[in-house]
């Protein structure tokens, strides 16, 4: 018998569904899994999650025989919710995989965002604006669908979307919530009768997202907005993303602690202990409550341990994803790995899957990306199809793969002194050199390679990486601000989003990097761990300067 608070999730090897389970359970509902097409009919409320590649997901979905049973569920009038690829599946198809049909429940198709004026994938917090629903008379003034609010922000991570054409889906009876990215207005969510579908991830959208999930589970399709909220309140567009980063390693007693390097040296001067700045799970929760838009864990001793033995790191993710409802990135040790217990080499894709199943939304690849890029150039810019970036991106989508770059400045007297991509710098070198290039390093900066950051980011973009985490060893831990010259040169070289990292010491540094470069996100570590600043204070400061940030919602 089904207790009246059971919801069924259709699990077809999508990405991180653990967070969705955690969100549903936090709202007081219990999750049952649908594992076969026959089991679909026992579902009263059915949620179709989905992360990653449209073609990959829909092919698995239809090969497993789910198309008809899911269409019957929708036709039966029982509640149905699609999330991310789960909304895309409802359409007729996507340019991402032109030969793979969608369910065709909604008459329209998905197109790729243009990347001539903005980064693609579209990653971050944007609107799901229902304001025009009331203006078109579909609903009374101030009415909303499923708790969506015009001034709330929701977490999106996708490269394909349905362009919004006013009145078209509405003519088919759909209510449409929209968002704007650059000059493209697109569909953020749709609702009709028993169906709600969201391009954003409600389980990753903090309190605003949980509000939508709760309204769906409780069948509250439309409700009046609180008086304090006027549809005009919606501030269009993607907010500036502020990320809190926790460098994590085992201390000499074997406990996982949050630490922080000083130009990558994490040992404190006196006593030589590993700097211990707290417990990973509680620090992540603290930053979530301060309004961090994402949390990143970097397991900085990973090149010693094998991730399979990194059960503590998997446990940290399981615990964090139970209470922190914003995207989680995990880095450190994502590569083909020899498991000493079995003597078997575990492919990077299997290692990444362990992390996704534990609650990670993105994996970050550092050293292995440098090795892959060196092989890419050695093979004459030919893709092998076997790298960690390619295999994980193919299975989980580009947006699930971050490449973490650990560059250090190499000063040269002139541009002719090296074949590498140089920048003219305002911070002259020790002998007054006016040019420098940025050399990639591996093993946490312990080994410098003859590969520059432009070569690296160009290669990994070609392999299907979805985002660059751009650190800088010279700036790391200095509280002197980000390396704007490095950031501008990388932003000019790739179309995928870039996260500025290393050197942040105060809110001015965040304002500076957003005002003086077109970087997509900015990350802080030490300044937050040492309690000098909270994420909330940084965001309030940016707000005062007129920069769009997501306000924290309880």
Active site residues: 84, 201, 203, 247, 406
Identify the three-state secondary structure at position 6. strand
**CB within 8 Å of 462: residues ≥ 6 apart:** 376, 381, 383
For residue 383, is it left (φ>0), alpha (ψ between -120 and 50) or beta? beta
- Shorter beta-carbon distance to ligand 1PR: residue 178 or 337: 337
Distances (CA, A) of 438 to 76, 417, 418, 456, 486: 59, 14, 12, 10, 8
Q: Among residues 94 and 302, whose Cβ is nearest to ligand 1PR?
A: 302
d(CA 542, CA 352): 34
Considering the complex, state which of residue 100 and residue 484 has its C-beta at the smaller distance from ligand 1PR: 484
d(Cα 483, Cα 503) in Å, to the nearest integer?
8
Please tell me whether 471 is known to bind a ligand.
Answer: yes
C-alpha span between 178 and 187 (Å, rounded): 5
Using only C-alpha atoms, the chain has a radius of gyration, in whole angstroms, of: 23
What burial class does residue 331 get, using C-beta atoms within 10 Å of its C-beta: 0-12 exposed, 13-18 middle, 19+ buried?
Answer: buried
How does DSSP assign 243-265, residue by residue?
A: EEEEEEEE-TTS-EEEE--BTTB
Please give the Cα distance from 189 to 179 (Å, whole number).
9
Q: Least distance from C-beta 226 to ligand 1PR, angstroms?
A: 37
Distance CA 365, CA 234 (A): 36
Name residue, tokens 């030969």: 99
Taking the complex as a whole, the smallest distance from the CB of residue 104 to ligand 1PR amounts, in Å, to 41
Nearest to 239 by CA among 158, 161, 325, 126: 126
The tokens for 527 are 């300044």
For residue 60, give every residue at least 6 positions away whose Cβ sits within 8 Å of its Cβ, in sequence order, or none: 12, 13
Supply the minimum distance, in Å, between the C-beta of residue 354 and ligand 1PR.
Answer: 15
Interface with ligand 1PR by CB under 6 A: which residues? 245, 247, 260-261, 264, 266, 298, 300, 302-303, 331-334, 364-368, 404, 406, 444, 471, 476-477, 501-504, 524-526
- The single-letter DSSP state of residue 306 is -
Residue nearest to ligand 1PR (CB): 444
Shortest distance (Å) from residue 302 CB to ligand 1PR: 4
Of 308, 305, 299, 372, nearest in space to 329 by CA: 299
Shortest distance in whole angstroms from residue 504 CB to ligand 1PR: 5
Q: Is 62 helix (H, G, I), strand (E, B) or coil?
A: helix
| 333 annotated ligand-binding residue | yes
Give the H or E element holding residue 476: none
d(Cα 377, Cα 381) in Å, to the nearest integer? 5
Contact, 336 vs 388, CB < 8 A? yes
344 vs 32, 350, 387, CA distance in Å? 34, 12, 18
Please answer whether residues 132 and 170 qualify as being in contact, where contact means their C-beta atoms are separated by less than 8 angstroms: no
- Residue with Cβ nearer ligand 1PR (300 or 349): 300
Give, as one character, the DSSP assignment of residue 512. Answer: H
Q: Which residues are annotated as a binding site for L-glutamine?
A: 84
Q: Which residues are annotated as a binding site for substrate?
A: 333, 471
Q: Which residues are annotated as a binding site?
A: 84, 333, 471
């Amino acid at each position: 018998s089904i207790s009246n608070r059971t919801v069924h999730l259709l699990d077809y090897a999508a990405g991180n569904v653990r967070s969705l389970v955690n969100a549903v359970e936090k709202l007081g509902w219990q999750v049952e899994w649908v594992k076969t097409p026959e089991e679909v009919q026992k579902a009263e409320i059915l949620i179709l999650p989905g992360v990653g590649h449209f073609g990959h997901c829909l092919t698995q979905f239809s090969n497993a025989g789910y198309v008809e049973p899911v269409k019957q569920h929708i036709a039966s009038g029982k509640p149905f919710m699609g999330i991310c690829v789960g909304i895309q599946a409802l359409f007729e198809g996507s340019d991402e995989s032109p030969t793979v049909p969608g369910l065709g429940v909604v008459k329209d198709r998905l197109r790729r965002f243009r990347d001539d004026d903005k980064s693609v994938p579209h990653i971050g917090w944007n609107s799901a604006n229902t304001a025009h629903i009331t203006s078109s008379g579909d609903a009374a003034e101030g009415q909303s669908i499923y708790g969506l609010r015009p001034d709330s922000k929701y977490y999106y991570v996708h490269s394909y979307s349905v362009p919004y054409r006013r009145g078209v889906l509405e003519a088919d009876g759909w209510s449409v919530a929209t968002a704007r990215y650059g000059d493209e207005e697109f569909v953020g969510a749709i609702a009709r009768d028993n169906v709600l579908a969201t391009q954003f991830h409600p389980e990753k959208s903090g309190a605003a997202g949980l509000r939508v999930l709760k309204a769906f589970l409780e069948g509250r399709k439309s409700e009046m907005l609180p008086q304090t909220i006027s549809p005009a309140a919606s501030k269009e567009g993607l907010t500036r993303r502020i990320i809190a980063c926790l460098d994590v390693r085992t201390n000499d007693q074997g406990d996982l602690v949050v630490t922080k390097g000083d130009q990558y040296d994490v040992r404190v001067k006196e006593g030589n202990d590993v700097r211990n700045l707290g417990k990973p799970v509680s620090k992540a929760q603290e930053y979530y409550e301060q309004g961090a838009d994402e949390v990143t864990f970097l397991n900085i001793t990973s090149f010693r341990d094998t991730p399979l033995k990194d059960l503590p790191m998997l446990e940290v993710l399981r615990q964090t994803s139970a209470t922190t409802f914003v995207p989680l990135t995990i880095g450190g040790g994502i590569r083909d790995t020899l498991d000493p217990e079995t003597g078997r080499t575990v492919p990077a894709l299997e290692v990444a899957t362990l992390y996704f199943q534990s609650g990670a939304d993105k994996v970050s690849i550092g050293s292995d990306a440098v090795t892959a890029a060196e092989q890419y150039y050695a093979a004459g810019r030919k893709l092998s199809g076997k790298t960690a970036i390619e295999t994980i991106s193919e299975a989980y989508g580009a947006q699930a793969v971050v490449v973490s770059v650990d560059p250090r400045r190499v000063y040269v007297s002139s541009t002719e002194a090296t074949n590498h991509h140089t920048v003219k710098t305002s911070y002259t070198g020790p002998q007054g050199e006016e040019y420098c290039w940025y050399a990639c390093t591996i093993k946490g900066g312990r080994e410098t390679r003859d590969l520059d950051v432009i070569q690296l980011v160009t290669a990994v973009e070609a392999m299907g990486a979805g985002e660059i985490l751009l650190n800088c060893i010279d700036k790391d831990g200095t509280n002197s601000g980000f390396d704007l010259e490095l950031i501008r040169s990388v932003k000019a070289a790739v179309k995928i989003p870039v996260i500025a990292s290393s050197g942040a010491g105060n809110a001015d540094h965040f304002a500076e990097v957003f005002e003086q470069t077109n970087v997509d996100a900015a990350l802080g570590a030490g300044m937050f761990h040492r309690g000098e600043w909270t994420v909330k204070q940084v965001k309030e400061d940016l707000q005062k300067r007129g920069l769009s940030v997501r306000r924290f919602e309880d």
